[in-house]
A and B are shown apart, each in its own frame.
Chain A
Amino acid sequence: MASSTVVSNQSIIARLFGRLARIRYLPTSLSVGAIILAVYFLTALTSSFWVPYEYSQVGIGPPFSQPSLEHLFGTDQLGRDVFSRVVNGTDKELFLALTSTLIALTGGGLLGLLSGLVGGWFDEILMRMFDALISIPLLIFALLVMAAAGPDLSGNLVLLMAVVAIVYMPRIARMARATALDLLTRDFVTVARTRGESIWSIVWRELAPNASGVLLVEFGVRAGYAPILIGSLGFLGFGARPPIPEWGLMVSENRAAIVSAPAAVLAPALALAGLVIGLNLFTDGLARVLGRQVQRGGI
């Protein structure tokens, strides 16, 4: 294994901390992103202790009242406190975005690595299938899966997570496969093969740890887009259902009063944009620490 010293056997976490310890200064994007994300996570974890009203509590004030000290962002159509609803939505938004991306990363990552390693017909068929799925515009793909699931399941949050995961999976698998093909040329895979390791053992113990940097950055990029996707589906009426305080859904609910009470629209919109900015900055910083390029676009 001497020839494979370039590739460390340390876990990605250990390597990350090793790099962080050696680095002279933190990338600004990493620290700013971390601070923004910390605010969101703290809000999600502690909001139940200090949020003024329940998110579904109606008639707290008159419909679409202006922002005041009592109602920081005013109230919505049913007289619910917009500030409380935005705060209460934080944990749901974070949970939905991160869990669905994690599912997609696990599924897509393993499939991609396996496909690259096994090769042959399995690889060919799987990748042609994934290519076809990638060729459907992301949002239209998500809408199709929603339509296929039928009206009985609409508004189901598990379905929403499944849709995001399904839409992401082929894209992540493609990426993981490319990484696997690159790793396959290295000696340590040949050694493992000669040693007679099983395919799963090679995927799990040789490929996955070495692809973890790429996959971590990929996770960041996808997680950064997940709230946009979830919010867009909510906005279009195919995501979370009322009275869930999902930010995209709130923007579409409160749009009726965009002229008289713009705060009720702006608050959830900015909360969503802020979360994505935090995730994107953090990912950019992380990629810089790991010495990798972030590729966005063509989503």
Chain B
Amino acid sequence: MVSRLILSRIVTALITLLAVSVFIFWASEVLPGDIAARVLGRFATEEGKQVFRERLHLDKPVYERYWLWLQGTVHGDFGVSLVNQRQVWDVIAPKLRNTLLLGCYAFVLYVPISVLLATLSAVFRERWPDTLISFFTLLGLSAPEFVLGTGLLITLGVAIPIFPVMSLIELAKTPFETIRTLTLPAITLAIVMAVYAIRMLRGSLIEVLDSEYVRMATLKGLPRYRVVLWHALPNALVPTLNVTALNLAYLVGGVVVVEQVFAYPGLGSLLVGAIFVRDAPVIEAIALIASGIYILANLFADLMGVLLNPRLRTS
């Protein structure tokens, strides 16, 4: 029963990814005018354009081009960049590594921030720490990433220059320097993710703290910190897993703006640049990778829900 449910979710995710790939291809290649004229410029000869079209299969009908592109993509061949004729994968790979590094760091910061603040908020419910924290989560919820990033830049980069203003990771020689350059963008991402998790975890923690077994543990004479950390928190964390997976999905899009704020050479910056020069193969590859991660994270959240729900597990 459960395995069939899981299998059907995975198949649905694959179909969704396929549909996404159709849309991405359509949006980046079919709509705008003559790609050959755009890339080669106004002074290109007709023969030159013809050679270019043949090499990119632009002389073939749309569905055939899509099929060729899809075949290549499945085999890990994203084609050739229109701008510098390099393999798209070679262009993307180092940026993808940088973005994954940033994402992991942000995630490492995100978990303790959310758990700590949500616990404080729930334990001191309706008192000043809770009010203060909920005020700041509202602030974090309402500030766009570029506002939050710029704010951090002004305070921790300019006013108190602890961190560099630009996150040029190539210049960092030692691991310590790498961490230093990554910290500001990572904190920005972590805060944006944490605000959702804090609200969610606070709610579920309050629910658990009001439950019978926690009251029982308190009546048994256990110290408060033990009740909260050992009895309440682990159970309250379960519903938050879903938000965390959704946050991972958010990370994929949010990273575009944050990388731009800190001039970080990642996938997001590459995407923005590729759209400016209309480098279709690069745009397609990045959009597909981003959507793939997004779908994977959502699938993960979904499966987590299935596996953690005892009713679905046993029936």
Contacts and interface: CB of A to CB of B under 8 A. Distances in A.
Interface stretch (B101-109, B180-188, B288-296): B288-296
Interface stretch (B42-50, B86-94, B214-222, B241-249): B241-249
B32 A150 contact: yes
B246 A135 contact: no
B240 to A, nearest CB: 11
B27 interface: yes
Given A231-B146, A277-B138, A133 B249 contact: no
A288 to B, nearest CB: 14
B158 A259 contact: yes
Interface SS of chain A: helix
A265 to B, nearest CB: 6
Most chain B CB inside 10 Å of its own CB: which residue of A129, A236, A281: A236
Contacts of A150: 31-33
B31 A232 contact: no
B158 A139 contact: no
Contact of B276 (A231, A237, A297): A237
Nearest to A132: B19
Interface string B43-74: 00000000000000000000000000000000
B272 A237 contact: yes
Contacts of B278: 147, 151
B246 A298 contact: yes
A132 B23 contact: yes
Interface stretch (B121-129, B168-176, B251-259): B251-259
Interface residues of B, number: 56
Interface SS of chain B: helix
A140 B253 contact: yes
B291 A232 contact: no
Nearest to A228: B144
Contacts of B271: 140, 143
Interface stretch (A6-14, A101-109, A188-196, A268-276): A268-276
A134 B196 CA distance: 19
A145 interface: yes
Contact of B150 (A251, A280, A296): A251
B294 A136 contact: yes
A255 B157 CA distance: 13
Contacts of B16: 128, 131-132, 135
B250 to A, nearest CB: 7
A128 B20 CA distance: 10
A241 B15 CA distance: 38
Contact of A144 (B17, B24, B146, B260): B24
Given A135-B295, A251-B147, A298-B249, 15 more contacts: A132-B23, A135-B298, A136-B20, A136-B294, A137-B249, A137-B294, A144-B28, A232-B257, A235-B146, A255-B150, A258-B165, A273-B147, A276-B142, A280-B142, A297-B200
18 contacts: A128-B19, A129-B19, A132-B19, A135-B295, A135-B298, A136-B291, A136-B294, A137-B290, A137-B291, A140-B253, A143-B275, A144-B23, A150-B32, A237-B272, A259-B165, A269-B147, A269-B151, A298-B246
